Chains A and B, each alone.
Chain A
Amino acid sequence: MSERTLLEVEDLHLHYQTRRGVVRAVDGVSFDVRHNEALVVLGESGCGKSSLAKALMRVLPRNVHQVSGRVTLGGTELMSMSDERFRRDVQWVRVSLVMQASMNALNPVVRVGEQVVEPLRVLLGWPRARAMARAAEVFERVGVSTDFLQRYPLELSGGMRQRVVLAMALVTEPELVILDEPTSALDVLTQASIMNLLKRLKRELGTSFILITHDVATSSELADRVALMYAGQIVEVANAAQFFDAPAHPYSQLLMASVPRLHQQQRPEAIPGQPPSLLEPPPGCRFAERCPSHFERCAKDPEFFRLDDRRRVRCWLYEGRGEP
């Protein structure tokens, strides 16, 4: 592990128990995030990307069947930590999470300022005045007038509420912020201005980000690196330039070809078929059924080949071109 690494995740599993069997939402995921790096976790719905965020943040539903693996944050091993200690020292303090549509989950009868200072007051025991002063600072940082501290959520537009939620995630100065689809409920222009803000925050605060999204174009708005998920696993992780210009995994290539582009004459191509059920994922490569270049080898689980320091691909085509 390099000293620039902030978060290291190894072989993370999160399985849910359902009436129909065990759902393997996250099934052996490994990646790392460096200081001041933005890692985008890209994937289509049901690929396990939100479950990944929940596992990292330890906000788990009751039907968890198994959660295992190794997660290290700045040298501290998190998986073995007790719930009590995790809540006191890590959750919201060192790692915060902006959940999908959380801008609509603000308490409608509490002024937004009071909600933003909650992590400071409850977790860190700050006095009210000091916490409010800090909240005002963060509001300015995310481009919300400090007058809005006294407003109720319904008095704010969607874009403003999203900024308030971001302020709440940043108020404790965490090392890592996990954003789960932060802009998918917003309009085009609002979405672009939130992405502008995230870029600026990353530069000014030096925070690391994990951005979870299904939208390839949005992912390129912040990504230093991209991890593409498919059926509970990461199939490729690469630097943004490598990923967008020359994707390696067949699924990455097909996904890039399916994106409609504003300034390109080429017609987007659909990917035939659909992802396998996570209830009983097929043995071997999970993409094999839809893959144009599959061969006998794909009946066996592909290894996560390391092509270089920053790039790994879960595909037998790369056997011999990198170490497993």
Chain B
Amino acid sequence: MNERPVGTSVEGEGALLSVKDLHTWFELRQWGFLRVGAVRAVDGVNFELERGESVAFVGESGCGKSSLARTLLGLHRPTRGEVRFAGHSLGELNARDLKAYRAKVGYVQQDPFGALPPFLDVRRILAEPLIVHGVKGRSERERRIRKVLDEVRLSPAEEYLGKFPHMLSGGQQQRVVIARALILEPAMIVADEPVSMLDASVRVEILNLLRHIQTQRELTLAFITHDLSSVRHYAERIFVMYAGRVVETAGVEELLDHPQHPYTQALLAAIADPDAANATKQREIPGGEPPSLLHPPTGCRFHPRCPHAMAGLCDVDEPPDFEPRRNHYSACWLHR
């Protein structure tokens, strides 16, 4: 790590990232000025990530997982609450420190083709962050570009350096995106649905690669996905999100094998492992749709769809985090 780390004083101690009571709301205006309300994309989220840990945030579209990712990256300002990275609060960073922070946190986007500028070749795409962050000397930059290309297994580098994004396959494009996220030697990577745009056989390749790099470099990886079936081998902990909240957290095996929250149970029941018997099976699916984040339901946000909803409780009081099993947290009144 060549740059001045944001958290010089506390580096090496405690959680790398700590998120407390985080709210990211978006003002909604009609005709550009009439205040209609706020979309509560992230609405009271707490967690800590250790150094070298890989975690997955799982949820359906509109649960706030991408807004959370963008808040962690410093791309959205929290409406309330705090994100602390290596002891520093993001809200208190000045422009210079925020730039240093961005060098510490890499971003792997969902759509690799959309994320890469079409008119720059691979060399230029990877040089850009180095230039912006003041890595002088063409040969030093070239050395780091080749090293990172080798790390994402785009080798020999000569074959790829001069190529433009459209000349690469989807998997290769995503490798370039990963290389770009790694080139400033970050401490953490935020990967927002890194494989959802890719084909099945390529998905595994990219997930394996990300996992390999994460363990080799001892990176913290926050992996955002809607696909619970691909999480088992690529993360240590899972956070299940619903309507702007984390509803359940546990270690991967524990959560997949003993889901506690009715929403997680429904998600798991909806996922098929390939099996000819599926064709004749009706799955138990809760009715309805995820709620509007403009006017989320009172009480537990899942209660209108929940098969176990208890009138007078679930629709009135928000459930706190219970610990029905060791190190396994679930925000549901059933555990009271």
Give the interface of A toward B (CB within 8 A). Answer: 38, 44-45, 157, 159, 187-193, 195-196, 199-200, 214-224, 239-241, 243-245, 254-256, 258-264, 267-271, 274
Q: Is the CB of B285 within 8 A of A193?
A: yes
Interface residues on B, range: 35 or more
Most buried by B among A38, A189, A199: A189
Q: Is the CB of A244 within 8 A of B201?
A: no
Interface flag for B280 (CB, 8 Å): yes
Taking the closest CB of chain B, its distance from the CB of A33, in whole angstroms, is: 15
Please tell me which one of the listed residues B228, B270, B276, B281 contacts residue A191 in the complex, with CB atoms under 8 A apart. B270
Q: Is the CB of A270 within 8 A of B283?
A: no
Q: Is the CB of A199 within 8 A of B204?
A: no
Nearest A residue to B171 via CB reads A274
Taking the closest CB of chain B, its distance from the CB of A53, in whole angstroms, is: 18
Question: How far does the alpha carbon of A260 sit from the alpha carbon of B273 in the complex, in Å?
Answer: 8
Most buried by B among A218, A262, A269: A262
Question: How far does the alpha carbon of A217 sit from the alpha carbon of B171 in the complex, in Å?
Answer: 21
Q: What does the 1/0 interface line of B223-264 toward A look like (CB < 8 Å)? A: 000111110110000000000000000000000100000000
Please tell me which one of the listed residues B200, B228, B232 contacts residue A255 in the complex, with CB atoms under 8 A apart. B200
Taking the closest CB of chain A, its distance from the CB of B167, in whole angstroms, is: 12
Taking the closest CB of chain A, its distance from the CB of B3, in whole angstroms, is: 34
Nearest B residue to A195 via CB reads B283
Interface flag for B37 (CB, 8 Å): no
Taking the closest CB of chain B, its distance from the CB of A110, in whole angstroms, is: 23
Question: How far does the alpha carbon of A271 sit from the alpha carbon of B199 in the complex, in Å?
Answer: 11
Taking the closest CB of chain B, its distance from the CB of A200, in whole angstroms, is: 7
Q: Is the CB of B274 within 8 A of A259?
A: yes
Please tell me which one of the listed residues B60, B208, B232, B273 contacts residue A187 in the complex, with CB atoms under 8 A apart. B60
Interface flag for B155 (CB, 8 Å): no
Nearest A residue to B195 via CB reads A260
Taking the closest CB of chain A, its distance from the CB of B59, in whole angstroms, is: 9
Taking the closest CB of chain B, its distance from the CB of A73, in whole angstroms, is: 24
Please tell me which one of the listed residues A191, A196, A217, A269 contacts residue B274 in the complex, with CB atoms under 8 A apart. A217
Q: Is the CB of A271 within 8 A of B256?
A: no
In the assembled complex, which residues on chain A have CB atoms less than 8 Å from the CB atom of B232? 260, 262
Give the interface of B toward A (CB within 8 A). Answer: 60-61, 169-171, 199-205, 207-208, 226-230, 232-233, 256, 266-276, 278-283, 285-286, 289-290
Question: How far does the alpha carbon of A217 sit from the alpha carbon of B226 in the complex, in Å?
Answer: 15
9 pairs from A and B in contact (CB 8 Å cutoff): A44-B199, A192-B283, A193-B283, A217-B271, A240-B276, A240-B279, A243-B276, A255-B200, A264-B273
In the complex with contacts A188-B226, A258-B201, A220-B274 CB distance below 8 A: yes
Question: How far does the alpha carbon of A196 sit from the alpha carbon of B272 in the complex, in Å?
Answer: 12
In the complex with contacts A221-B279, A270-B202, A216-B256 CB distance below 8 A: no
Q: Is the CB of B275 within 8 A of A44?
A: no
In the assembled complex, which residues on chain B have CB atoms less than 8 Å from the CB atom of A220? 272, 274-276, 278-279
Question: How far does the alpha carbon of A132 sit from the alpha carbon of B233 in the complex, in Å?
Answer: 51
Question: How far does the alpha carbon of A259 sit from the alpha carbon of B285 in the complex, in Å?
Answer: 23
Taking the closest CB of chain B, its distance from the CB of A194, in whole angstroms, is: 10
Nearest A residue to B256 via CB reads A262
Please tell me which one of the listed residues A192, A196, A200, A215 contacts residue B200 in the complex, with CB atoms under 8 A apart. A215
Taking the closest CB of chain A, its distance from the CB of B272, in whole angstroms, is: 4
Most buried by A among B232, B278, B279: B279
Most buried by A among B268, B270, B276: B276
In the assembled complex, which residues on chain B have CB atoms less than 8 Å from the CB atom of A191? 270
Taking the closest CB of chain A, its distance from the CB of B301, in whole angstroms, is: 15
Question: How far does the alpha carbon of A239 sit from the alpha carbon of B277 in the complex, in Å?
Answer: 12
In the assembled complex, which residues on chain A have CB atoms less than 8 Å from the CB atom of B275? 220, 244
In the assembled complex, which residues on chain B have CB atoms less than 8 Å from the CB atom of A159? 289
In the complex with contacts A189-B266, A256-B274, A261-B273, A217-B204 CB distance below 8 A: no
In the complex with contacts A188-B226, A255-B201, A222-B279 CB distance below 8 A: yes
Please tell me which one of the listed residues A196, A216, A267 contacts residue B285 in the complex, with CB atoms under 8 A apart. A196
